[in-house]
Structure 1
Amino acid sequence: MDSPCAELVAVEVYANGARWTLLVGLDAGSPRVGVVRTRPRGAPAGVLAQRLRRDLVGARLEGVRASADAVCLEIARDDERLTLLVDGRLRTPLLAVLGAGDRVEWCAHPRALAHAGGAVGAPYPLPPGLTDAPRESREALERDGALLAERTADARGSRLRVALRRAARRRLTHAERKLRAIEADRARVAEVPGLRHDAELLLANLREVPAGAREVRVLDWALDPPATRTLQLDPAEGPASAQASRWFRRAKRLERGEAVAAERASRTRREVEALRSAVAAIDALDVRAAREGLDEALEQIATRLEALGVVLDREAAAAPRRRRADRPRLPYRRFVGSGERDIWVGRGPEDNDALTLRHARPQDLWLHCRGRAGAHVVVRLGRGEAVASELLVDAATLAAHFSSARGEQTVEVSYVPRRFVHKRKGAPAGAVVVDRDKTLLLRVEPRRLARLLESERPAT
C-alpha cells in the first residue's frame, strides 16, 4: 500500500501466484483503475501512505465497485469489513477508509470531507451508481495502469525539474551577488594611488593643520597646472599625522586584498558560468519527450549541481511541495572549518547579541577581533571538548576578516568559552564583557581565508 504521488494510490495484490500493483487514480471527475507489474517510483512514504499501510497491509481485497465518478475497494481485515473510497465528485477528490455502516474511520482530506457534509465517525453517503466493476480484460487493465504510471512519472519528473531549477537559480543568484561584491572590493584598489598621494600631501603640510581642524587646504603640485585642494579630516581620529598613517595603512590593506579578491573572483566566475549552464540544461529538458531517459537526465543534472555546492534532497524534491511555515531568520552566517566543523559569524551588532546570548551554548568557543569593531564568531563544541588548533585558526581568520581589521596582515583575536561572555544592562548592541579570554596573534593567510569564504553554506 503506497501513494507514489498525490494523484495516485498503489495497492500490491497477489492473485494466482502473481504479484500485481493495483493503481487507483485520484482524479477529480473520473477516477481510474489499472494494474502494472512494477510499482511506480515516487515520493517517500508520507502520512497518507503510512496510514494506509497501517490499516490495510495484509488485508484481503474482496472486490472493486465503481461508478462514473467514484471507486470503492472492498477489503476484509480479520473479521472486519473496510472500504477504501475515492470520491471524485469533489474539487479535491476524497480518499477515505470506511468501516461498519459506512462510517468514516479516517480521511486523507478533512476539508473535502467537511465540504461534502461528512465527518469522521459519521456515515458517509456513498456516490450513487456504484456497481461491481466489470471483469475487464488484462489488456485493458494494463493499458489503464500504464497511463496512470506514465502520468505519475510525468508529475514526479516535473516536480523534480522545478525543484532542481529552483535550487540552481537560488545558488546562481547567491553566486552572482557574491561576484558583484568581490568585483566592488577589487574596484577599490583604484583608490590606492589617491590615498597614498593624499597622505603624502598631508604629511608635507602638517605645520599648516591647526589642532582639531576638519579640513586643510593644500597646494597639489601633481595637478596640471598645480592647484589648491581641500583634504577632509576627522578630529576624532587624532592628529593629522595619525590620519595620514591611517590612509597609508588602508592603501596597503587594499593592495594586499587584491590577490585574494582576484582568486575568489576567478573561482566565483567559473561557478556562475557552470550554474548558468545547468539552469539552461534544466530549461531545455522536456519531461514528456524525455520520458524514457528522464531519470538519468535529471540525475546527471542533480550530480552537476551537487558538485557546485547545491544542497539537494532528491526524494523530497520529487514529492509534492507542501506549504511550510516561514523559517525564522537566523542571526549568523555559516562557514565550514577544519574537520567539517561549523563556524557561525554574526551578521551585525544586534545579530551578534542574538548569536552570542541565544544561539551559542556555554561550552561553545567565542571569538572576536581584539579592540576592533566586528562580528562575534562561534565554534560549536561538545561538553569538555577542546578546540583543534586548525579549527581555532580558521575561526580567528573569519573573526579578523569580518572586523574593522580586514586586510591587515597581523591581527589579535580574543577567544574564550561562551560562558565567560556577558552583556551589561543598557550596553549598546554587540557590546559585551569578556572574562578569562586568551589572545591569538593571527597572521592572516590569504589561501586559508579564500577557502573559508568559499565554504559558506545556508545557515541552519
Structure 2
Amino acid sequence: MQKPLNWREIALLAKWIEPEIVGMFVDRVVVPDRPEFPNGYLKNEWSLRLTSRGKEAALLLSVRPRRPSVDLLSGKGPRASPHATRSGFDLGLNKILSGRKVLGFQAVPRERSAILWVESDGRNAFGLVLTLIPALPEALLIEGPREGQDFKVLARSRGVPDALYRFPDGAKSPPELTVRGEGFEDLDHYRRAGREALDLEAFETRLGLVRSRITQDLKQAKVRLAQNQRTLLEAEREGEYRHQGDLLKSVMGLNPSLSSENKRRVLDWETGEETLLLCDPKLSLKEQVEKFYSLAKRKDRRISEARLRLTTFEEKVSRLETFRSATDSIAISALRGKAKLSELAPFEEKLGIAVGAPERPEAKATHGWSGKSFVAKEGLPILVGRSKDENLELTFKFARGNDLWLHVKGKPGSHVVIPLRSKKNASLETLLDAALLCIHYSNGANWGKTEVDYTHKKYVKRIRDSSEASYVNNKTLMIEPNPARLRELLGQDII
C-alpha cells in the first residue's frame, strides 16, 4: 500500500497541479472505471474532467479510508464506470461544478488538506475541500469569499451535518516532515507510483476474494465429503436384500410359516445352512419378495450415488487445495502490477468470481451449490443435478421460486435450474444451453430430437412418499443434437 501523503507532499502536489488546471472549465464529475477491481469502480473516488481550448485533463480525487489521494492526468482520464452507484454528494458536485471555471488548487498550510477553487456568482467561490487524513478522509463542498474564514457547507461526503466550515490552522502539525525522494521527483513519477500502488491494491483485494472463496468452498466440500462417506458406509452395512429376496422367492411354493418374531426359516444354498429372514407380517409372500428387491435397488442406488458424489468431492477438495497453493505462490512471487493480476485471473474464472463489475444476483444464488455448474453464453449460471439425491437437493432445497427448471419430457432424468432475479427471464440461447445439458446428464446422447420441458420452480412439486416431481404451467423445447455446442459447455472448467 502506498504510504499516506504528509502535508509537505500535499503542498508540493498542489504546486505542480495548480498551474496546469487554472483557467480550465469543469466539464463533468464522474466515478472512474476501475476494471481491475472486483466491482469495476472504487467508492469515494471521483474524476473531474477539465477542458479548455485545445486541452483536456482529469483531476482524480479519492477520499477512501486509508487510501486518500489526488492526481492529475492528461486527456479525458478514465472513462465513467457503467457499474458505479452515484451518491447524492457526487451528483451534487456534478450539478454545481459543471461548466464553471477553475480558479485555483491549493494546499491548506501545514495540514493534510487541499482545496479546489471554482468560480461562483459575485464575490463568492465554490471550494471542494479534500481532507486527506487516512483514518478519516472526506470531501466537502463549500461556498464563500476565498479570503473569508467561515464558509457555508453545501455538501459533504460523510454526510455529517455541519452548517459552517473553517480551515484548520495547522498549529499542531509536525514541522520537521520531509518529502519522500522516490515517486516525488515530478508529477510523472508520482503518477507512475500511484498506478503501481493501485495495481497492488487491486491484486490484494482480488487475492483476498479468491482465498475467501477457496476457504469457503473447501470447508463445504470437506463437510459434504464426510457426509457421503458416512452415507456410503451405512448403505454398505445394510442387509443383503437381493440375496434375501432370491432365497424367499426360491421357497415360495413351500410357503414357509411366519414365526412369532416375524421371521421365516429358509435354506441358504450358498452356505448350506438354514437362515431366518425378518419379514413384514402385513405383506404376503410375493409382496415381501418384491419389498426385498425394492430395498436392494434402493441400496444399490445409495451406494452408486454416494460413490459418484465421493469422487466429485474428492476431486473438488484436491483442486481447491491445488488452487490455494498456486495463489499463495503468486502472492509471494516477484511479479508486479498487472502481471500479478494476469496470473490470478484464471483462478477467478474457475471459481466463478466476477471482476470489473458487481457480482450478478444470479451468480450469488449459486453459492453453496456443490453439484455441476455451467455458464450460458449470456452469462447466466446453469446448475445440474446428476442423481436422484442431487436432483432433490437442487430442486427442493436450493432453487428459488422464480428460477427456471428443466426436465426431459416423459422420461426420468436430470433436473436443471437456471437461477433468475425476480421478474427476469432467460434468453432462448440460455434455455438451449440448459436443455442440451439436461439431455446429456439424462444419458440421452443417442435420443436424437428430444423434447425438454421448462417452467418456474414454484410450479414444481414433489410427489408424496416419492423421489419424483410433478410440474405444471410448462412450455416445451424441441432440441436438435448439437455436439459442438455441448462440447463447448462441457469444456468449462468451473469449480
Q: Which runs of 5+ in 2 are unaligned?
A: 1-28, 35-41, 145-149, 172-178, 444-450, 477-487
Whether 1:279 aligns to 2:324 is yes
Structure 1 residue matching 2:104: 3-state secondary structure: strand
Q: Structure 1's 95 and 214: CA in aligned 2 closer, same or farther, altered over 3 A?
A: farther
Aligned residues: 402
Whether 1:298 aligns to 2:310 is no
CA contact (8 A) 2:455 2:475 kept: no
Q: Structure 1's 149 and 299: CA in aligned 2 closer, same or farther, altered over 3 A?
A: closer
Q: Match for residue 409 of structure 1? A: none
Q: Distance in 1 between matches of 2:191 and 2:213?
A: 33
Q: How does 1:208-357 map to 2 (within 5 A)?
A: 208-210=256-258, 215-216=263-264, 218=266, 220=268, 222=270, 226=273, 228-231=275-278, 233=280, 235=282, 239-250=287-298, 253=301, 257=304, 269-286=314-331, 290=334, 293-306=336-349, 308=350, 310-316=351-357, 342=382, 352=396
Q: Distance in 2 between matches of 1:435 and 1:35?
A: 61
Give the aligned residue type for 1:241.
V
Structure 1 residue matching 2:240: 3-state secondary structure: helix
Q: Match for residue 73 of structure 1? A: 115
CA RMSD, aligned part only?
6.4
Q: Structure 1's 438 and 150: CA in aligned 2 closer, same or farther, altered over 3 A?
A: closer
Structure 2 residue matching 1:109: 3-state secondary structure: coil
CA contact (8 A) 2:152 2:165 kept: yes
Q: Match for residue 167 of structure 1? A: 213
- Among 225, 243, 252, the alignment partner of 1:197 is 243
Structure 2 residue matching 1:208: 3-state secondary structure: coil
CA contact (8 A) 1:35 1:144 kept: no
Normalised TM-score (structure 2): 0.55
**Cα distance, 1:140 vs. partner?**
5.4
Identical pairs, percent: 16
CA contact (8 A) 1:31 1:69 kept: no
Q: Structure 1's 350 and 252: CA in aligned 2 closer, same or farther, altered over 3 A?
A: closer
**Cα distance, 1:162 vs. partner?**
0.6
Whether 1:106 aligns to 2:155 is yes
| Superposed CA offset, 1:18-47 (max 9, x none) | 766655564879976565679699986553
Give the aligned residue type for 1:152.
L
| Superposed CA offset, 1:245-269 (max 9, x none) | 32454466578x48x956x766765
**Cα distance, 1:280 vs. partner?**
1.4
Give the aligned residue type for 1:104.
V
The structure that is helix-richer by fraction is 1
Q: Distance in 2 between matches of 1:353 and 1:329?
A: 12
**Cα distance, 1:12 vs. partner?**
5.8
Give the aligned residue type for 1:167.
R
Q: Structure 1's 189 and 298: CA in aligned 2 closer, same or farther, altered over 3 A?
A: farther
Structure 2 residue matching 1:314: 3-state secondary structure: coil
- Among 62, 77, 80, the alignment partner of 2:104 is 62
Q: Distance in 1 between matches of 2:260 and 2:493?
A: 44
CA contact (8 A) 2:395 2:457 kept: no
Q: Match for residue 82 of structure 1? A: 126
CA contact (8 A) 1:24 1:33 kept: yes
**Cα distance, 1:303 vs. partner?**
1.7
Q: Distance in 1 between matches of 2:240 and 2:490?
A: 29
Q: Distance in 2 between matches of 1:30 and 1:417?
A: 49
Q: Distance in 2 between matches of 1:29 and 1:190?
A: 58
Normalised TM-score (structure 1): 0.58
Q: Distance in 2 between matches of 1:24 and 1:414?
A: 54
Q: How does 1:413-428 map to 2 (within 5 A)?
A: none
CA contact (8 A) 2:279 2:288 kept: no
Give the aligned residue type for 2:127.
T
Q: Which runs of 5+ in 1 are unaligned?
A: 131-135, 402-412, 440-450
Give the aligned residue type for 1:298.
L
Q: Structure 1's 269 and 331: CA in aligned 2 closer, same or farther, altered over 3 A?
A: closer
| Superposed CA offset, 1:299-337 (max 9, x none) | 23322442x3x22221248xxx9xx9xx89999999669
CA contact (8 A) 2:406 2:452 kept: no
Q: Match for residue 47 of structure 1? A: 86
Q: Distance in 2 between matches of 1:20 and 1:338?
A: 41
Q: Distance in 2 between matches of 1:187 and 1:200?
A: 24
